[in-house]
Amino acid sequence: MTGSITLILPAVILVSGAFLVYLLSRALRLGNRAEALLTAFVLAGSLTSLLVLFVQLPGLVGEPGIAFGLETAGGVIYQPNAVGIFVLILSAAITLLVTIYSAEYLKHDPRYQLYYPLLLLTQAGLFGIFMSRDLFNLFLLTELTTVAASALIAFRFHQEIAIKAGFKYLLMSSLGTMIMLLGVYFVYRSTGDLRLVALLDAPDRFTRIGAACFLVGFSLKAGVVPLHTWVPDVYGHAPSAVSGLLAGVMSKSMLLILPMICLRLGMSHVELGVFLMVFGCGNMVLGSVRMLGQSLLRRFLSFSSIAQTGYLMFGLGIGFYYELAEAYSAGMFLFLVIALMKSLAFLSAGIYEFQTGTQEIHRLIGAGRKMRWTGLAFSTALASLAGIPLLAGFTGKWLIFSAALRTGDLFAGICLAIFLVSTVIGLAGYLPLLVKQYLPGNVEKPSGSGSASSERVSLWMLMPALLLALLIFGIGIYPTPWIGLVDTVMNWMAFV
């Protein structure tokens, strides 16, 4: 073994914590809230260790030899990188909020003992994806994340639609990992080595095929059009807390691992940039158009998530195609903003569904008048997604817009026009939904619904949502420190 254990301490805490939480919950018969608090402590420990790594990053990235694992053939190497640490900190923070939210959200679910360990294992798998420098190990950890996430999606197994959603995600994501395994074969056939530590000196057609396999595999997991068909069913029928985590962080982060692999295997910056910009336009248009007229709240948010994926792809694509540092930073900032907005939107939608027993939009007219704090949080998410000024979503889109204008190129101009049209179409979806919350009238409850709650909204659910709303307001009003943080990460980062 080489390197310090502190490099993999976050993953050690998550994996050991998952088993510890499950064993203690069974042995001590812990209630849902007690297990949620225990899980929150584990996540807080992992988040703290990630923050320590973040502080140490300038020295770590300056020494490429710093790693943990076995250097010999067949060994597994974990190496810290700026983008990975940034993504993992954001993911751990949002998962911590989701855990606190779930302390009340899961009070009617008897199988909560399995839920929290699965959350921790999903985070551990994400850590491995970003930190592993071995392609086969990366494949295995991607599959770990897939299996754990599938179980979370199908958590409410007594609902047939939840089982179908979990199975669909498992099937589609496993197809993506199988394509990546084919890429592993091509890379090994060409190089005889699966370590991903530097640019290949002489990439050939086999390594380029391998890069294409990873591109397709991770694109499927990110919901890139036309590989997006699983998104509405999964986000629409998984528990709302899980949908928020998947839509906010997990799926979007797959776009950030792409450059670390594809560029090292022989794909050029221009090729990757063209892919992201062209297919990003497809996501923007399809997501914005399809979310119009949706009758179910979380299905509406699912198509919105497809459009947000397109905006992120557009920003990153500009950075790669034109090798423009400002566009890299804009894309990373937008990733941060999307994570907050989508998590808040799904958590707020979950509160509405928890309190009323429905996610049918026409039955939620007036919900914001009855649940004022929830209405404020959901309105913040919708307005920010729509790009209303003084909110984080506007700042993120403005940075992408500015980066595209800076290129002065026709290709970027065409994509920018699609970006603007998609944003206008999105307004036609977000603003009516925002207004409907406050129209006069009582919230309608579906007949025979036994899941509706007439109680006041619990602080366990409300506080995470309000904290996310506060962050969105704060970033929108005073984005400078956050932009500076992203720029710092960019200065430490090397995509290749």
Which tens digit of pLDDT belongs to each residue from 126-140?
Answer: 998 988 888 888 888
Q: Which of 293, 326, 325, 290 is nearest to 309 (CA)?
A: 290
> Cβ atoms within 10 A of the Cβ of 27, count?
8
| Higher local confidence (pLDDT), 109 or 372 | 372
Helix 325-356 vs helix 372-386: crossing angle, to nearest 10: 150
Query: Band of the pLDDT at 279, cuts 50, 70, 90?
Result: very high
**pLDDT (0 to 100) of residue 471:** 96
**pLDDT (0 to 100) of residue 452:** 53
**pLDDT (0 to 100) of residue 496:** 40
Q: What is the mean pLDDT of residues 17-22?
A: 93
On average, the pLDDT of the chain sits at 87
Q: What is the mean pLDDT of residues 25-43?
A: 91
**pLDDT (0 to 100) of residue 192:** 78
**pLDDT (0 to 100) of residue 494:** 47
Say whether pLDDT at 62 is over 80.
no
CA distance 133 to 260: 10
| Higher local confidence (pLDDT), 102 or 59 | 102
Backbone conformation region of residue 223, classed left if phi is above 0, alpha if psi is from -120 to 50, else beta: left
| Higher local confidence (pLDDT), 295 or 201 | 295
Query: Band of the pLDDT at 39, cuts 50, 70, 90?
Result: very high
Query: Band of the pLDDT at 427, cuts 50, 70, 90?
Result: very high
Pair 312, 287: CB distance under 8 Å: no
**pLDDT (0 to 100) of residue 74:** 61
pTM recorded for the entire structure: 0.92
Identity of the residue numbered 434: L
**pLDDT (0 to 100) of residue 53:** 87
**pLDDT (0 to 100) of residue 155:** 84
> Cβ atoms within 10 A of the Cβ of 411, count?
17
Percent of the chain with pLDDT over 70: 91
**pLDDT (0 to 100) of residue 97:** 95
pLDDT per position as a tens digit, 403-415: 999 998 999 999 9
Task: Supply the Cα-derived Rg of the chain in whole angstroms.
Answer: 22
Q: What is the mean pLDDT of residues 82-105?
A: 93
Enter the DSSP assignment of 493.
-
Q: Which two tokens stand for residue 460?
A: 């366990």
Pair 362, 438: CB distance under 8 Å: no
**pLDDT (0 to 100) of residue 495:** 41
Q: Which two tokens stand for residue 268?
A: 């050029």
| Higher local confidence (pLDDT), 338 or 63 | 338
Q: Which of 324, 338, 340, 333 is nearest to 480 (CA)?
A: 333
**pLDDT (0 to 100) of residue 491:** 73
Percent of the chain with pLDDT over 90: 52
pLDDT per position as a tens digit, 169-188: 989 988 999 999 999 999 88
Spatial neighbors of 297 by CB under 8 A, at least 6 apart, are 349, 352, 353, 359, 360, 361, 364
- Mapping DSSP to helix (H, G, I), strand (E, B) and coil, where does residue 68 land? strand
CA distance 104 to 355: 11
CA distance 120 to 135: 23
CA distance 440 to 320: 49
Q: What is the mean pLDDT of residues 12-33?
A: 91
Say whether pLDDT at 159 is over 80.
no
Say whether pLDDT at 64 is over 90.
no
**pLDDT (0 to 100) of residue 131:** 87
Query: Band of the pLDDT at 61, cuts 50, 70, 90?
Result: low
**pLDDT (0 to 100) of residue 198:** 57
**pLDDT (0 to 100) of residue 274:** 94
**pLDDT (0 to 100) of residue 276:** 95
pLDDT per position as a tens digit, 198-214: 556 667 888 889 999 99
Query: Band of the pLDDT at 449, cuts 50, 70, 90?
Result: very low
Pair 472, 393: CB distance under 8 Å: yes
Chain-centroid distance of CA 285 in Å reads 20
CA distance 307 to 251: 13
Q: What is the mean pLDDT of residues 249-260?
A: 90
**pLDDT (0 to 100) of residue 440:** 80
CB-neighbour burial class of residue 496 (10 A; exposed 0-12, middle 13-18, buried 19+): exposed
**pLDDT (0 to 100) of residue 140:** 87
| Higher local confidence (pLDDT), 188 or 442 | 188
**pLDDT (0 to 100) of residue 181:** 92
Compute φ and ψ for 182, nearest 5 degrees: -60, -40
